[in-house]
Amino acid sequence: MEQSSNFIRTIIKQDLETGKRDHVITRFPPEPNGYLHIGHAKSIVINFGLADDFGGKTNLRFDDTNPLKEDQEYVDSIKEDVSWLGYEWDELHYASNYFDEMYDRAVLLINKGLAYVDDLSADEIREYRGTLTEPGKESPHRSRSAEENLDLFERMKKGEFADGSKVLRAKIDMASPNLNLRDPVLYRVSHATHHNTGDTWCIYPMYDFAHPLEDAIEGVTHSLCTTEFEDHRPLYEWVVRECEMDMQPQQIEFGRLNITNTVMSKRKLKQLVDEQHVDGWDDPRLPTISGMRRRGFTAEAIREFVKETGVSKGSGVVDSAMLDHFVREDLKLKAPRTMGVLRPLKLVITNYPEGEMEWLDAEINPENPEMGTRQIPFSREIYIEQEDFMEEPPKKYFRLFPGNEVRLKHAYFVKCEDFIKDEDGNVVEIHCTYDPRTKSGSDFNERKVKGTIHWVDATHAVPAEFRLYEPLILDSEEEDEEKTFLDYVNEKSLETLNGFIEPNLQNIDAQEKLQFFRHGYFNVDPKHSKPGKPVFNRIVSLKSSFRL
């Protein structure tokens, strides 16, 4: 596929052409404090994709500098998700493996008079920082001697001070219009057990100090991140320069991915999970990689979607219809096409001999003949879709109604002769006659029908559960300061139906994807599907220009 140009690709290309760089190394640096979502997938596709395009390499690096929030469980799931998305990292690293070197660099800063130990409390530091429009003021501890700072910092490391009692700060400029440069905290005391280093450390580096060092240590040439870090770039460069690292990685920022009718922040996703609006991090309605995988989205579709939405610095919102498009596109030739009735209505073919049945040949995917054919049973009683019959049809309704004839996919023409209602007035059974001459595959062409409907033979039908999803977040009209995203949670985002499928699907494997004729693409739910009683998640419906 033709690679569309984007500003980062242009920069890298130039760097290579001008000789600024002679190779490319990128990295995907997640913090193992939660599950990956499709926003991370964008970062993954960009980092791995770009490096690959230029013959470079990409590392997976866990940015594990805050033991309070991180856990091995997350590093495992992140690795799984990156692999599932189809990428192989060159080197696997942990920021925590660099703690010794980071400590040494901090000592260097102290010796250069560029860092100091501060005794101010968190609240005081905030007050001293000033505001967006007013400069901050210097801490009374700012002018401690290097010797004193060295001593204090070493004692911080040894565990002599309580959490929050002391921090190491960079000495930059308390009056900078960029708040990140107002003597940012470099190290904090935290007597916490780290998932990787255990209790070796009780001081941990902050992101702004750690990240540039990690990149420089690994020789990352292009450090790609999202736009909210733009303000941090001067600090990033300050750290690499003043810590006298051998090479200077270049930080480049791109806009986050947003998609309509969903939420992308870890905080909001966590809230949806914690408050049980959804059923866990892998709920098929969530944009988490695990949720999308369970819903049935393919890695290929996610990758293509991300590529097509592009890379820019803008903060736009991509229409979820584009995501839908790429799954349909990917599954079109791969997924078997079969018949499933989600809302069953019995249909009796009155002129089909009782007790008889036949096996019909049916192609598995007419757009991909190599997938072959299957046999499906047919007899006097079948199930059709409730919405495929109307007692009083509107104009341009091509399906069944009294006197109308339709084609049963892979079978015969049937004509509606009668129907039965229950006491409540609901249609419960349709009576039709069929024309044996119209069998699928025959050359019958004496008359045509406008509609073709799907069905499942009643005596062989296998019960199945279907789960249909709607957007988790409803459209919000005008902005309302009073409301939060929780006010727009769609409480009807999941609809569960019980219907029937063809018998050959009875023991279908988890994560198998298929198209139910005229409905859409479905995935076999890995958690709740069982042999003999499959559960299907609708990934996406088919497009439809039909409107009642």
Partner RNA sequence: UGGGCUAUAGCCAAGCGGUAAGGCAACGGACUUUGACUCCGUCAUGCGAAGGUUCGAAUCCUUCUAGCCCAGCCA
Whether 482 sits among the annotated catalytic residues: the reply is no
Round to whole Å and give the CA distance between 297 and 245. 42
Contact range with RNA by CB under 7 A, out of 40-48, 224-232, 427-435, 470-478? 224-232
Whether 266 sits among the annotated catalytic residues: the reply is yes
Q: Of these residues, 9, 79, 129, 266, which one is catalytic?
A: 266
Q: Of these residues, 9, 142, 256, 409, which one is catalytic?
A: 256
Please, what is the minimum distance in Å from the beta carbon of residue 57 to RNA?
Answer: 21
Contact between 316 and RNA per CB under 7 A:
yes
Whether 31 sits among the annotated catalytic residues: the reply is yes
Please, what is the minimum distance in Å from the beta carbon of residue 530 to RNA?
Answer: 27
Among 268, 277, 313, 346, binds RNA (CB under 7 A): 313
Return the amino acid letter for 128.
Y
Q: Count CB neighbours of 377 within 10 A.
A: 18
Contact between 312 and RNA per CB under 7 A:
yes
Query: What percent helix, strand, coil does the chain show, rounded to 5?
Result: 30, 25, 45
* 117-146 positions binding RNA, by CB under 7 A: 120-122, 125-126, 129, 131-133
- Distance, CA of 443 to chain centre: 48
Round to whole Å and give the CA distance between 335 and 367. 10
Please, what is the minimum distance in Å from the beta carbon of residue 515 to RNA?
Answer: 6
Contact range with RNA by CB under 7 A, out of 165-173, 282-290, 461-469, 502-510? 165-173
Tell me which DSSP letter residue 33 carries.
Answer: S
Contact between 180 and RNA per CB under 7 A:
yes
Contact between 440 and RNA per CB under 7 A:
yes
Round to whole Å and give the CA distance between 345 and 340. 12
Among 26, 47, 58, 66, binds RNA (CB under 7 A): 66
* 388-417 positions binding RNA, by CB under 7 A: 396-399, 407, 409-410
User: Residue 294 or 303: which CB sits closer to RNA?
Assistant: 303
Contact between 5 and RNA per CB under 7 A:
yes
**Of the candidates 515, 509, 536, 541, which has an alpha carbon nearest to the alpha carbon of residue 525?**
536
Return the amino acid letter for 241.
R
Annotated binding site: 31-33, 37-43, 63, 207, 226, 256-257, 264-266
Residue 498 contacts residue 480 (beta carbons within 8 Å): no
Among 52, 138, 197, 255, binds RNA (CB under 7 A): 255
Please, what is the minimum distance in Å from the beta carbon of residue 482 to RNA?
Answer: 16
**Of the candidates 394, 402, 404, which has an alpha carbon nearest to the alpha carbon of residue 420?**
402
* 453-512 positions binding RNA, by CB under 7 A: none
Contact between 319 and RNA per CB under 7 A:
yes
DSSP states of 391-455: SS--TT--SB-TT-EEEETTS-EEEEEEEEE-TTS-EEEEEEEEEGGG-TTS---SS--S-EE-E
Residue 305: C-alpha distances to residues 39, 81, 177, 329 (Å): 12, 17, 38, 10
* Catalytic site positions: 31, 256, 266
